[in-house]
Amino acid sequence: MRVFVTGATGFVGSAVVAELIGAGHEVVGLTRSETGAKSLRDAGAKAHRGDLADLESLRRGAAESDGVIHTAFIHGVQQTRLSSRLGVILGGSPNSIVARFISFATQTDRRAVETLGAALAGGSRPFVNAFPTMAMMSGRLATEDDAPDLGAPGGARATSETATLVLASRGVRASVVRLPPSVHNEVRQGLVRYMIETARKSHVSGFVGDGLNRWAAVHVLDAALLFRLALEKGAPGARYHAVGEEGIALKTIAETIGRGLNVPVVEKPASHFGFIAPFVPVDNPASSALTQERLGWRPTHRALIADVEAGLSAAGAK
């Protein structure tokens, strides 16, 4: 199968590319730069130049493929074109920059999903879209049958999931893979890496409140396998959870960081964590029971705490 992958040079996307190539698929990866194009070629994939705002490039990439996996998302203003960056920064009150950026990023993603899906319409070609579990209701175990919560920190991205599932009625075998906040290996640990960076700078490892709120987690290689299974066998309109661990208490994560950096572990206000402040207090456990039942997916790689420990140990040895 010829598969078009967006976000192909990112942390999750590059693992997906390797998983697909290892399973015998031909991969074409979207990239903004020649550096990205070279890394794709080195990995055994073909490069397709463009970005999420270049809808014609997205349309061509999808139209020439047998299926699409969409892992790209604009996480920072530096990932945008200069005109878009200026629009976000100068387009109103300085106090509203974050809101303008979120609106820009989510609208860009929705248009990308609609464009990719329209190019696949008819013939039941697969489309798999990445989506965050941080868009689910806080304080309860999220399942694959739950709809996003618009009030959740990631709830603004709900339009992307909705747009994906609508494609199922248009002859696209469209599905969603929900990713937890801690997609990890020993080098990177999702949002946890920002907790580590904050601890290094502040010389304390923090948590919020009693620290018992939970984050789900998955090893990046297990997540990559699920994307492939969803591409090959996913049902139209399905939601799948790439969750290897249902929930690890933030205080446990903070204590692991504290040991690794040899700094105190203390309660801190959410503002201590900078731009991830909205996510740190959230109780975001999630189940993958239905995903495992429906696709036969089984997470087998190392757990989050082990990867945090390994990453901190490796960094300390350098």
The answer for residues whose C-beta is within 8 angstroms of residue 179's C-beta and 6 or more apart is: 12, 130, 131, 132, 133, 218, 223, 242
Distance CA(264)–CA(258), nearest Å, equals: 6
Distance CA(171)–CA(133), nearest Å, equals: 26
Helices (H), 121-219: 158-166, 192-202
Distance CA(223)–CA(19), nearest Å, equals: 10
Check residue 286 and report its DSSP letter. B
Angle at 106 between CA 99 and CA 81, to 5 degrees: 85
Output the tens digit of pLDDT for each of the chain's 318 residues.
999 999 999 999 999 999 999 999 999 999 989 999 999 999 999 999 999 989 999 999 999 999 999 999 876 656 666 566 666 566 677 766 677 768 878 899 999 999 999 999 988 999 999 999 999 999 999 999 999 999 999 999 999 999 999 999 899 999 999 999 999 999 999 999 999 999 999 999 999 999 999 999 999 999 999 999 999 999 999 999 999 999 999 999 999 999 999 999 999 999 999 989 999 999 999 999 999 999 999 999 999 999 999 999 988 755
Widest pairwise Cα distance in the chain: 58
Distance CA(201)–CA(187), nearest Å, equals: 19
Tally of helices (H runs) and strands (E runs) in the chain:
11, 12
The answer for residues whose C-beta is within 8 angstroms of residue 123's C-beta and 6 or more apart is: 171
Whole-model pTM: value is 0.93
Distance CA(156)–CA(74), nearest Å, equals: 13
